[in-house]
Structure 1
C-alpha cells in the first residue's frame, strides 16, 4: 500500500509538474507567437500570367510555380489521398494529434532518434507559414501552440486550403495544382487516382519522392498511400489494384503556354516590373494584353517565312558548327555529339542534327532525341549553292561530301512528304509590329527570327535608319505648309557642302538617273531622293522637325540637316508604325500600348488602360497628357460605357493634308515601289517602301483604316543585304503575307472626300490647271486655297475669290 501511495503521489506530482511545465512554456512562448489572423490575408507567391486579348496564355513569370485553388475546387479524391498520406484524423482533431505526438515521443525514447514527428496538417501549416524548418524542441513547442491558435481562428477547409497551396513539391512547384501542371501538364482535377496518390506522397521528401527525380521512390510511396486509402475505406480494392498497375508517366512540363509570343510577353514583363516592382513576379497578377492570338501567330510565321525566302536567295553558309572526330580520341563520338546536341535549341521549327556518316546520295544523322535518320541528296543538298558574298553564290555541289563531314551540326525541317529537308537559320534578322490605328493597341509584335536565338527585340529596341519609309512625313509637312501634290520640284543632281554633315554631299536617286521637273505626287510614288532633298531645302529643316514632333516622333536628338529627307535619323519599327498609324487614322496622334487590363490574384481588375482614341465626331480640342489609368471606381463606371471613358486623341495633321498624302501612298501601291501589294486585290491599302544605303535596311509600312503594319529586314551587324535587295523585295512580301489575313474582316472602302478638298484636271508636266482641250490632263486633289489659278492654254480657271468654276470630281 505504501508503494501504491508512492506511485499515486508521484503520478499526481508528475501531472502537476507537466502542467506547470506546459503553462511555463506557454507563458514564455505565447507573447512571441505571430498573429494567426494574418493567415486570412496571406499573400502566396504566385507568378504573373500574361494573356492575349482572347485569353490565351503567352507568358508566365515568377520564382515559384504556383496556381492557388480554393477548397471547393480541390477534387475530393485528392483530399482523401492527402489525408491518408499525412493526417487521416485532420477533420476530427483540434490542431494536434495526441496519439501521434505520443508515438513520436516513444520513438524518440526507444530509439534515441526523431521519427515521424507526429505533425498534423495544421502543425505543418504553422511551420510552413510562420516557422523555420530547424528540428528543435523549441520550434516544435511553437508549432503545437500555433496549431491550436490556428484551429481557433480558421475552419478546417481554410486550413486545408492553406496547406494545399503552400507546400513545396519539387522542381520549383509550390502547391499541388502547380505540381500537377509541372509533372503531368494537367490540372489536378484531370488526374487519375494513381497520380493523386503520387502527388500526395511528395511532401514527405520532395526531392526524393517526386515522380521525375525519384520515380521508384515515388511509386513506392504512391502504393503505400493507396493501401492506406483502402484501409480507411476511401477506395475499393479494384481501385487499389489499378493504382498498383498504373505506370509512372510523369515528366517535366513548362507553363501551359497556348503559343509562343515571347517578344510580346517579355515587353509585358518589363512594363509590369516598371509599374509594380518585384511584386510583379509574386503577387499573382493576370495581365491581359492587346495582342490578337490569331494575328500574333500569323506575324511570327510571316516574318520567319520572309527571312527564310531572303536567305535562300543568298546561298548555303554551311554547317552551323563543326565537331570533328579527333585522332586518338578513345571516347565514343556518337555519345559526345549527343551530349552537345541536347543543348542546341530548336529555332523557328528547325531541328538540329549531327552528320554521322557521308554516303553517295545521302548522309546519316543523329537527332537530338538520340535517334538516327537520313537526309537524302534531293532534299535540299543538291540545291545548296554555297554563299560567297551577299551578292554572289558558288556552283551547286556534286555530292554530299562537298557539303559535309562527320561531326557537322546542321538544321532540318520536315517537307510535305514528312522527309527531312536541309535548312539553315537565316543570318538576317527582321521585325514586324502591327497596331490598331484608332487607339495604338499593339495587335502583334515579333522582334526577330526567334526568341531562342536572340532575346533582343528589334521591333522596339533596334534603332535603324528608315530611309524612304520616312518620306511620307516630309511630304505631309510640306502639304500642310502650302505645297501641293502637283508642286513641281526639279529632280536634278545636288552637290552641297553641309556643315552638319561635315563633308561634300552628293545624294543620288536609285539607279543614278535624274528625271527633271517632277510633281510631288510622282516623286513620292517613285521615291525620288533628289526631289525630297530639294523639297526639304525649300520647306526648311526646322519646319519639318516641328511638324514631325507634332506627329508624335521623338525629335530631341534629331540633327537639323537635309539628310533627314532620306530618313537618316534612326528609329525603331514601333516608332515608325506609330507614325503611320497617324496617317491611317486621319491625322490623330495615338500612343502604342500593350497592356489592356491587369487583374489581381482574386481576379479583380486593378488597372484598365485608357488609350488616346480617335473620335471623329468629337469637337477637335487639344488634349494635354496622354493615355490614362483608371481607379477601381472608374473601372467599374467605365465598364458601362467604354467609349465615353476613353480620352480623345488630338488631331495633329490637318484633315485635308492627311487625305491627300493618303491618296499619294495609295499610288505607291498601284503605280510605285509597293506594286507587289496589288496581289491583295484591295483599293484601300496605302504604304511606302524604304531602303537605306548598302542596301542595309529594308522597310515597308502600310495600312488601311483598321490595321497598320511595319516590317523591317536587316543584319544586326549592319552588313549589306545585297545589291538586289530593297524594301519591295525583302520587307514588303512579309507585310503582304501578314496583311492578307489581317485585313480579311476589314471592309475595302475608300475614304470620303473631306470638306475643302477639290479634284481638278491639271497638266501633268507643269502641275498647272489643264486647258479645256488638253488631252493628257489628269485629275489631282487640292486644298481649295492651294488650287493653281492658270491653265496651260491661258484660260482662266477660277477667280481669286473662290473655286466655284472648278471642275470637281467628288466621290
Structure 2
C-alpha cells in the first residue's frame, strides 16, 4: 500500500510540475509563428572510405493530402493507436505523460513515450530528436501553442502530411502509393491497408511491409485491436480485416510527388539508414533531412562494378514462366576491418525508381537458407578447430545412411564411394559426410561455434537438428559475410559495418562505429579451411568463381525446391585476400512456379568472378598464407584407417616360414591369412586361405623346397572387411620334388588333417564365397576355427568393392558435376 501511495504522490507532483513548466514556457516563448510549421529539409552528405563525397541527399515533402481525401478508417486508426484521447486534450495528455515520466525515473532511462499526435507534430517540425527532459518540456510547450492556433482537423491533416510513413518522403499519400499504388485514390484503401499505414509512423523502417512483412502484419493487427477496443470498428469488420492477406503493389505508380528521386547508391544508402537506426539510435529521418555528414566504408569502384553487373540479366537465373524476375543480393566486406565495401540488395527493374527504405534490402533483411555454404561454419571449421579431425579424416558417405531421429540426407548426385576424406567431401560438396561428421562431433559443438564464434543468429532449437549441417537455417547474406571473415582473416571474426562516423553540419561527432573483432578459430584452422575451399574453387563445385592471377577460396550452396528437381536458392560465398563476397539468388516467394529450375550455384559463382576480377583490376593480388605452423592433429581414425597392415614379413627358419606383422588397434578384429604359390613364369597357383587368427603371427610348417610363396593378411571385423596387408614373398631353397603328392579335395571347416598331418590340403579357391579354409593342426600358432565366419576373397584376385588390388571401386573418379551445392 505504501508503494502505491508513494507512486500516486510522485505522479501527481510530476504532472503538477510539468503543468507549471508548461504555463511558464507558454508565457515566456515569443508569439507563435505559423510559418515554422513548414518543415526545413537540409542536405545531408555521404562520403566513401577515403573521405570523398559520393552522394548528396535531401528528403522531400510528399504530395499533400486534404483530410477529406484520407479515409475515415485511416484517420480513426491513427488516433486509436497513437493518441486515443486526441479529441479530448489540449495538446498534452497529462495522464499519459505522468505514466511515462514515472517509468523513466523508476527505470533510469531518458524521457520516452506519452507523446500526443500534436506533440509528435511539434517534435517533427521544430526540434531535434534527442531524448532529454529539456526537449520534452519544449515539445509540450510547442504542442500547446499549436493547439491554440489550429483546429483538431487541421492538426490531424498536418500530421498526415508531415510525418514520415515510408522512405525519405514525408506524408501518408506517398506511403499509400509505395505500398498499395493508391496514393491518388486513397478512398480505395481497405480497412486492413489503412491499419497497416497507421502503424508505420512508430517505426517506418522496422514496419516496412516489403522488408518485414510478418512484423508489419503484427503491427497492423495491434492497430486493429485498438480500433476495436475504442469502438471505431465492430467485431465483424475486425474479423474480416485481421485475416486479410497482405497484398502489396508490384510496381508503385509515378504520379505522386517524391516518386521520381534518383539515388546513386540506393541499396547502400538503405543499409546506412538501417545501421544508423539499429546500431546508433539515430532515426533515418534525422540522417535524411538533418544536414548531417555520414562517413562510410563504401568502395566506389567495387560498388559501381557490382551495380553494373546487376543491370545485366545474363548474370542471373532465368525469369519464371509468368515473367517474375529471379532476385539476388550481394555484399562485399573487408575481412580485416569489417567495412562493408559494396552492397546491392536486389534487382530493380529499369522503369522502377528505387526510393530509400521503400523496398526490401535483401542483403541485410532477407533471411533464407544458405545450403552447403553453411557447412564450413557449422561443421568443418568447428571440427578442424577441435583438434580431433583433419582434411584427411575419413568420413562416412554411404547412401541411405539413417541418422538419429530418422534423418536420411542424400548427396546431390550419386557418389561411387562409401568412404571419403573430409577434403574430398568439401571439394565436391557432399552432404552425407557433413551430417556424419556433425553427428560424430556433436550438434551442440557446431551450434556453439556458429553462434558464439562466427556470430550467426540461430534459434535454440537449431542446436539439436542435424539438418543444420546442410544449411537448414535462415540467414542474411550479411550474416554469412561476417562469418566468413574469420576464414579470410587468420581466424579473427570481424563485425561488418557501413558507417564510420556521423557528424552534424558543424563537424561535431554525433555517433561512430569502431572495428569489432574476436578470435573465432585458431589461425591454423582458418588456413586449413582456406586450403580446402581453394581446392573447391580450383577443381570442385566452385570452378566458375576462378579468377586468373588471384587466389580464390569459396563454397557453393543450393537448397532444393520440393520434388521439382530444381533449386529454391543458390549461393556462392567466396574470398580472395582482402575481400569477402557473398551472393544469394532466388525468388522472393518460391513455389512450384517460381524456382531456379536446372540452374544452381554456378551462376552466383560466375558473378563473383566477374565482379571481383573487374572491381580489383589494377590492385595487388597477394597469395593466401596456407602455411600451417602446428603439427598435424592426432585425429580419431575410423576402423578402416586403423586396420592397415604394411609390415607383413615372411622369414625362413629351418624348414618353416615364420610370418610376423603388427597388431591393429581395432576391437574384435581378426586376421585371415592367405597363401599362394608363385610359379617360375610369374603366374600364381594353389592360392587359398590358411585360417583365421585372433592375434598377429603364424608359423607355416607346410612349405616345400624349391617353391616361392606369397602371403597376405586380410583384417576383418565381423563380416566387414577392413583392409588388405602388403604381400610377403618367401623362396624356399632346394629342389622342388619331382613327384609331388596329388592334392586332395579341401576338407570342411574344423576337419582334422592338413599339411602337417601327413598329406596336402588344397587351399580354398579365391573369390569363392562362403567357403572356409582348412586349419592346419599341430602348430603352436594354430589359428582358431572359423566358427562359421565367411572369409573374404583372396587379395589380388577379387573384384568389385570387396576385392583387393585394382578391383575395388574406390579408385573410380566422380563425374564432373554441373551445379554443385
Calculate the TM-score normalised by the size of structure 2.
Answer: 0.45
The structure with the greater share of residues assigned to helix is 1
